[in-house]
Amino acid sequence: MNYASNKTLVRMQTTLRFVCAAQLSRYEKKIMNQYEEGFGHALLFGIGAVTAIIVFSLIPVEFSEMIQPGLTILGFVVGYGLLIFQLNKQHKNNLNLQREQFKAKIQKEIFNEISDGINQSTNALIKVQSKLFAVSQKIDSKRFLKSEGINTKPLSERTVDFIDYHHSFSKTIIEVIFILEKFVITDRIFEIFNMALQSVSYDLDKSYQKVNDSLLKFLPIDLPEDKQQKIGVEILEPKEKGEVEFDTLKNNISNYNEFIMDITSYLHDLKIEAQNILLGEIFDNKVSPRRPNDREYVVVSKSTIRSLDEQEHYFMHETDWGKNWQAALKRTINKDK
C-alpha cells in the first residue's frame, strides 16, 4: 500500500473516531437519565460496541485479517453486555410488578376490613331502628285497646333490651373508627370520616338518653324476688300515660332516627371513598359521590364542593362534638399553665 492510501486511511479513521465520540457523548446523558446506573452502562457499552463494529467495517479489506480476532472477541463482549442488560431490565420489571401486586393485595385487605366494619354497623343499625319502630307500634296499640276497655298482657319489651341494642350499635361505630385510625396514612379523607362518625355518635348517645327516659314511662319492669313478695306481682306496669307523653316518645325516637340516618349517610360515603381510593386504581374506575337534593346535608368526600379543610372545620368547630372537644382542649391547656 502506498503512502497516499495510508494517509487517506488515517484521516478516515480519525474522522470516524471523532464522529463516534460525539455520538456516544450525546447518547450517554440521555441513557443515564432513563435507566439506573447498571442498566445505562450496559446499554452504553452495547452502543459503543456496535458503533465500533461499524467503524471497523469501513476499514479496507486488506486490514480485515488483522482485526478479525478482535472483532470476534468484541462480538462476544457485545452479546454478553446485551444479555446482562436484558436480565437487569427484566429483574427491574419483575420487582415493579411484584411491588404493584403487593400494593394491590394490601389495598384489597384494607378495603375488606373497612367494608366488614361498615356491614356490621349497618346490621346493628337496622336492628335498633326496627326494634324502636316495633315497640312504638305496640305501645300505641296497647293504649288504643285500653281506651276501648280491653285489658292486655304486659309488653314483653324492656328498657334494658333497648339499652343493649343501642350499645351494640355504638360499639360497631367505634370499631369502624378504630379501623380508620389504623389506615389514616392511606388517605386524609379517612381522618375526616373518623371525625364525622365520632361527631354523630356523640349526638346519638345524647339522643338515646331521651328515648330511654320515654321508654321507662311505657315499658314494664321485672321486679326482684324480694319486691315480688312485698307487692305480690312479678311485673310492675307503669301507670297509664296521656297523649303528651306518647307524642314525646315518638318525637324522641324520630330524633334518634335522624342521627341514625346521618350515620347511614356517612357509612355510605365511606364505602364510596374506600372503593375509589383502594380499588379505583385496580379496576380503573370511580364511583360518584352521594348528591343529596338538600345541600344542607353534609357529604364526606374528596369530590364534593367542600374542600377537606372545610369538612374538617365543620366537624371540629360546628358540631356539638367538635365544640365539646375544643372546650375540653382549652380546659386542658389552661390547667397546664
| pLDDT tens per residue across span 171-224 | 999 999 999 999 999 999 999 999 999 999 999 999 999 999 999 999 999 888
Average the pLDDT over 112-133 and give the result: 96
Instruction: Please write the tens of the pLDDT for every residue from 39-59.
Output: 555 555 555 555 555 555 555
Lowest-confidence segment of 29-43, 111-125, 171-185, 291-305 by average pLDDT = 29-43
pLDDT at 50: 57
C-alpha cell at 39: 442498566
Per domain, the residue ranges of the chain are 3-97, 106-330
Which one has a higher pLDDT value, 83 or 156?
A: 156
Q: Which of 11-15, 150-154, 237-241, 312-316 has the lowest mean pLDDT?
A: 11-15
Q: Over 80: is that where the pLDDT of 11 sits?
A: no
Helices and strands, number each (H, E), in the chain: 10, 2
CA distances from 228 to 152, 155, 233, 234, 271 (A): 21, 18, 5, 5, 51
**To the nearest whole number, what is the mean pLDDT of the chain?**
82
Dihedral Cα 180, 186, 191, 192, nearest 10 deg = -110
Q: What is the pTM of this model?
A: 0.72
Tell me the C-alpha distance between 207 and 292, whole Å.
24
Q: What share of the chain is helix, strand, coil (3-state, %, to 5)?
A: 80, 0, 20
Report the pLDDT value the prediction gives residue 161, as an integer from 0 to 100.
Answer: 96
User: Is the pLDDT assigned to residue 65 strictly greater than 50?
Assistant: yes
Residue 267 has pLDDT above 90, yes or no: yes
Spatial distance between the Cα atoms of 207 and 215, rounded to a whole number of angstroms: 13
Q: What pLDDT is stored for residue 156 in this prediction?
A: 94
In this prediction, residues 331-336 reach a mean pLDDT of: 82
pLDDT 10s digits, 88-108: 777 677 777 778 888 889 999
Point out the least confidently predicted range of 52-66, 123-137, 163-177.
Answer: 52-66
